[in-house]
Structure 1
Amino acid sequence: MPVIKHNPSELFPQYRCYSHATEIRGDSRLLIISGLNGYLKDGQTMPESFEDQAEIIWTHIQSILRSANMELHHLVSLRTYLAGPEYDEANVKMRVKFLGTHEPASTVICCQLLDPRWKLEVEAMAAT
C-alpha cells in the first residue's frame, strides 16, 4: 500500500520530521492532514485575528486536498484545537462557511497551543 506525502508549495515550510499530509492508497484512499496553523507561505507571518488565521487554515486544507485530487466534501474527520472557548462561535461560523451542509466527524478541544499567537490549529482526514 503506497504512502504519499503532500507538502504543497502554497503552504508554509515543513517542520522537522513532519509532513503537512500523508495519503494512504489502496482500494480506497485516506488522506491524513497534520495540524495546520495560520502561517502564511513564509512560515513566519501570521495575522492576529482568529478569523484571519482560520481563513488561512481553510485555504491550506483546500490546497492539500487539491494536491491529492480531493475536495472539501471528501473530509471525513476534523479535529480543531482552540486557544480558548471564546473562539467557539467564530470557529462554527468558519466551518459553516467552508463546509456548508457537509458534516464530517468533528472534535473541538480547548487547550494551550504551541505558539501563543495561534488562535487555533486544525487536523483533518479525507477519503475517497
Structure 2
Amino acid sequence: MAILKHNPPSLFPQYKNYSHAIETSSGSRHLFISGLNGYEKDGQSMPESFTEQGELIWKYIGEILKSANMSYNNLISVRTYLSSPEYDAENMALRKKFLGDHEPTLTVICCQLLETKWKLEVEAIAAD
C-alpha cells in the first residue's frame, strides 16, 4: 500500500511526529482503534501517573496493531485526549518513544475525560 504524506511548504512547519495529511491508496486495509485508556489488564486498576497510563495505552495500541499484522509504522492518524495541558511534554515524549521518526497525522485535545482518574485517552487509525 502506498502511503503518501502531504506537507505542503505553504503551511506552517510540521510538529514532531506529525504529518498535516496522509493519503492511502484504494485496496488497502484500515484499522480503526477505539479510544484506549490506561486500565491494567484486570480492567479495574489504573496507574496514577500520566506516563504509566500512557505507557499502557501505547503498549495496547502495539498489541492491537500486531494482532492485525501491523506495526506503529502503519499508524496514519493518532488522536490524543489529555485531561490537562500540563501533560503535553510527557505526551510528546511518549509519542517519540513509541513512534520514533514515524509521522502520522496528529490531533491533541484537552478536555474533561469520562473518568476523573484518566489522564489521557488515545485513538488511532492504521493502514496497510
Which TM-score bucket, shorter chain as reference? 0.7 to 0.9
Distance in 2, matches of 1:28 and 1:85, equals: 35
Higher relative contact order (CA 8 A, sep 6+): 2
Question: Match of 1:64, SS?
Answer: helix
For 2:42, the equivalent position in structure 1 comes to 42
Question: Match of 2:123, SS?
Answer: strand
**What TM-score results when the alignment is normalised by the length of structure 1?**
0.79
Equivalence map 1:16-27=2 (5 Å): 27=27
Structure 2: unaligned runs, 5 residues or longer: 1-25
- Superposed displacement of residue 43, structure 1: 0.4
Structure 1: unaligned runs, 5 residues or longer: 1-25
Bigger radius of gyration, 1 or 2? 2
- AA aligned to 1:104 is P
For 2:16, the equivalent position in structure 1 comes to none
Distance in 1, matches of 2:27 and 2:108, equals: 30
For 2:12, the equivalent position in structure 1 comes to none
- Superposed displacement of residue 55, structure 1: 0.3
- Superposed displacement of residue 91, structure 1: 0.1
**What TM-score results when the alignment is normalised by the length of structure 2?**
0.79
For 1:54, the equivalent position in structure 2 comes to 54
Across the two proteins, how many residue pairs are aligned to each other?
103
Is the counterpart of residue 104 in structure 1 residue 97 in structure 2?
Answer: no
- Superposed displacement of residue 27, structure 1: 2.1
Distance in 2, matches of 1:70 and 1:106, equals: 19
- AA aligned to 2:33 is I
Alignment root-mean-square deviation, CA = 0.9
Percent of aligned pairs sharing the same letter: 64
Distance in 2, matches of 1:68 and 1:79, equals: 20
- AA aligned to 1:43 is G
- Per-residue CA distance 1:59-104 (angstroms, 9 max, x = gap): 0000100110000000000000000000000000000011010010
- AA aligned to 1:64 is I
- AA aligned to 1:86 is E
